């Protein structure tokens, strides 16, 4: 059970040793084993000569060289071992700091999740109230818009009613052949009506104002053709104004 953890810990210690020496495992092995071994082999060949590799020759003539090799390799291994031992508390401290940091991250994550959970609960609890407030606000906007439309239509009816009163007055004057007709004044009034319709109701209403299509044929006893034409035009305008007022009802 503990072996995987021990191997992992030993590997971390070894990595720390390599980091201190700015080295790799191969470079450490080269300096502590491979290089001394090659030096030993070359030294034996030059000091003993032929048959240097034979055990009897080595025992008789290579004792000093072998002892030097053993001492050199031992010192190198000792240095690596000391570095390994010194790296143990360093790795333990690093693991401790990592554990502390992980605990802090876990605590922060738990705090954030707890906050998000509480906010979610608050939103769930507030949802009916929020929905009710939004619906009330929407209804208020609808009521306000409807009231504004009613006020607008009432203003249109009042303005059209005033124009209709003037139109009826001009139509009565047109029927009195014995009195002069204020044609300039009537034309100015007609221009005001057309401008009002274009600005407030649209060009379609302005086009309908003097169009008698669909209206009943008006009969008058006016003899003068010009007066009869004026009276007929005013009759059409007044009939259309009456229609426009009816269309602006709530």
Contact at 8 Å (CB) between 126 and 217?
no
Cβ burial 152-190 (10 Å sphere, 16+ → b, else e)? eeeebbebbeebbebbbebbebbbeeeeebeeeebeebb
Contact at 8 Å (CB) between 175 and 231?
yes
> What average pLDDT does the segment 63-87 reach?
68
Highest mean pLDDT of the ranges 10-19, 54-63, 101-110, 174-183: 174-183
At 133, the pLDDT band (50, 70, 90 cuts) reads: low
pTM higher than 0.75 for the full model?
no
Residue 95: is its pLDDT beyond 90?
A: no
Please name the residue that has the structure tokens 């208020």: 140
Q: What angle do CA 40, 44, 49 make, to 5 degrees?
A: 160
């Amino acid at each position: 059970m503990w072996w995987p953890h021990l191997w992992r810990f030993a590997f971390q210690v070894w990595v720390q040793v390599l980091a201190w020496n700015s080295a790799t495992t191969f470079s450490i092995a080269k300096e502590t084993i491979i290089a001394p071994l090659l030096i030993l082999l070359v030294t034996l060949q030059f000091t003993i000569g032929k048959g240097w590799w034979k055990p009897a020759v080595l025992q008789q003539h290579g004792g000093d060289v072998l002892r030097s090799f053993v001492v050199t390799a031992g010192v190198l291994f000792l240095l690596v071992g000391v570095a390994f031992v010194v790296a143990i508390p360093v790795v333990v401290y690093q693991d401790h700091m990592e554990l502390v940091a992980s605990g802090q991250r876990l605590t922060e994550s738990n705090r954030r999740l707890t906050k998000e959970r509480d906010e979610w609960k608050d939103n769930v609890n507030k949802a009916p109230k929020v929905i009710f407030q939004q619906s009330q606000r929407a209804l208020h906007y609808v009521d306000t818009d409807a009231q504004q439309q009613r006020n607008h239509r009432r203003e249109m009816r009042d303005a059209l009613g005033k124009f209709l009163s003037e139109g009826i007055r001009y139509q009565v004057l047109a029927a009195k052949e014995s009195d002069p007709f204020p044609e300039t004044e009537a034309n100015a009034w007609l221009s005001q009506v057309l401008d009002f319709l274009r600005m407030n109701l649209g060009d379609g209403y302005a086009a309908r104002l003097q169009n008698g299509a669909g209206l009943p044929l008006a009969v008058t006893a006016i003899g003068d053709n010009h007066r009869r034409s004026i009276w007929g035009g005013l009759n059409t305008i007044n009939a259309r104004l009456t229609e426009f007022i009816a269309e602006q009802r709530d």
